[in-house]
Amino acid sequence: MSAASFDFTAPGRILFGPGRAVEAGPALAQLLSSYPASGGSAVPPGPSEAETRILLVSGGDPARLEGIRASLKSAKLESVEFAIKREPRFDDARSALALARESGCRAVVGFGGGSALDLAKAVAALLANPGDPLDYAEVIGGGRALSAASIPCVAIPTTAGTGSEATRNAVLASEERRVKVSLRSPTMVPALAVVDPLLCLSLPPRPTADTGMDALTQVIEPYVCVSPNSLVDALCLEAISRIQRSLPQVYRDGADAEARLDLSWASLAGGLALANARLGAVHGLAGPLGGLLPVPHGAACAALLAPTTAANVAALRSRAPDHPALDRYARVAALLRRGRSSGPEDAAPALAELAARLDVRSLREFGLQLTDLDAVSVAAEAASSMRGNPIRLERAELLGILEAAY
């Protein structure tokens, strides 16, 4: 396992810090000033500069949009709005795509949690590439390459967990196949990411915990994955430390601005890690679970993280005792245990302790049945995230993870 040689993909520009959301409109206008008016081969020519239209994809609370609307208006950008109140499905992508095309939108802004950001990225890519969203989907779709670059996409997260503002994929759910899959391309990374921790201050404790555990998963899995990256390593280690000290605090006190800043930083780091390294079995299992159950992605990761870590360490000890990932798990454990001397086996108990402090829910609370476990484990084996896991887990080991999270 060598992390010495790497490429690094990131948003074209990142604005990070309290209050930076007001800069989104002017920054997008500056970006559009150097972008072709057509916005891509599948986008009709946009209207005049005074009427430049932007598709604004948001979550379900319109009251939260006042600030971003004002920022766009200040830059003479007219917004056409599309709200997504659930994790996005292929039909949502088709509807948002049709609205953007009919309106002649030259850019897409995602404002909200991971669902809004993923849908915005998908639409920005599909506006530049003809055909149906399913044509480009992994696993269940055509798997076609998104050959044309996305039209400009701005990602403004209001949660701290998915890191979608920095990733190169968008997750969509298929109701028919009961699974969640990705559209994926290096050109899907947003042209502009605006990360303002103040946008997270009103997030309630439950989604704060779930998204925070998602962020933690997205900095642990890339750190121990089969293809590490030395720059990603640095981001992941710092992010683990910040989450360890600030997630329990912000779960207790959501108005703690310093703790919110830590989580926003860690979430951004997780997105950058995901864009440049690999995930693992937690995400490999979370995808099929999200297609089967009404379980938020972060909640699934929260339930799975400790048992998956335990299974990985046990499998490595048994079948690859000299694997470098064991030393990496020991480093994760030391960070979670505030520097105390730690071995790889200490990582899972430390994660379980953190989950208990955050009142993480079991999967059965979302309707998982014991009779579902076989089907979930079979689907997980085909997930692209599994290819990044530090060791291939057997079917029995996947079932053991699900039973422990049940």
Last residue of a domain, one of 172, 200, 228: 200
Q: What pLDDT digit, counting tens, does each position of 351-372 carry?
A: 999 999 999 999 999 999 999 9
pLDDT at 51: 66
Report if residue 187 sits inside a domain.
Answer: yes
Q: Tell me, what CATH number does 38's domain have?
A: 3.40.50.1970
121 and 209 assigned to the same domain: no
124 and 174 assigned to the same domain: yes
pLDDT at 44: 46
Question: What residues have CB less than 8 Å from 296, skipping those under 6 apart?
Answer: 87, 207, 210
Between CA 184 and CA 352 the distance in angstroms is 32
Q: Tell me, what CATH number does 275's domain have?
A: 1.20.1090.10
126 and 214 assigned to the same domain: no
pLDDT reading at 38 higher than 70: no
Query: Given pLDDT bands bounded at 50, 70 and 90, which one contains residue 6?
Result: confident
pLDDT reading at 176 higher than 90: no
176 and 239 assigned to the same domain: no
152 and 213 assigned to the same domain: no
Report if residue 343 sits inside a domain.
Answer: yes
Q: What pLDDT digit, counting tens, does each position of 299-325 carry?
A: 999 999 999 999 999 999 999 999 999
Q: What pLDDT digit, counting tens, does each position of 27-36 carry?
A: 999 999 987 6
168 and 226 assigned to the same domain: no
263 and 186 assigned to the same domain: no
CB neighbour class for 176 (10 Å; exposed up to 12, middle 13-18, buried from 19) = exposed
What's the mean pLDDT in 371-398?
A: 96
pLDDT reading at 181 higher than 90: no
Report if residue 363 sits inside a domain.
Answer: yes
Report if residue 134 sits inside a domain.
Answer: yes
Last residue of a domain, one of 200, 222, 249: 200
Report if residue 4 sits inside a domain.
Answer: no
Q: List the domain range (segments joined by +) for residue 152.
A: 13-200
Chain-wide mean pLDDT for the chain?
A: 94
What total number of domains does the chain contain?
2
pLDDT reading at 42 higher than 80: no
pTM for the predicted model, two decimal places: 0.93
pLDDT at 60: 75
214 and 311 assigned to the same domain: yes
280 and 186 assigned to the same domain: no
Report if residue 295 sits inside a domain.
Answer: yes
Measured in residues, the chain has a length of 406
Report if residue 143 sits inside a domain.
Answer: yes
Between CA 160 and CA 335 the distance in angstroms is 20
Report if residue 5 sits inside a domain.
Answer: no
269 and 187 assigned to the same domain: no
pLDDT reading at 50 higher than 70: no
79 and 220 assigned to the same domain: no
Last residue of a domain, one of 184, 200, 216: 200
pLDDT reading at 39 higher than 50: no
268 and 149 assigned to the same domain: no
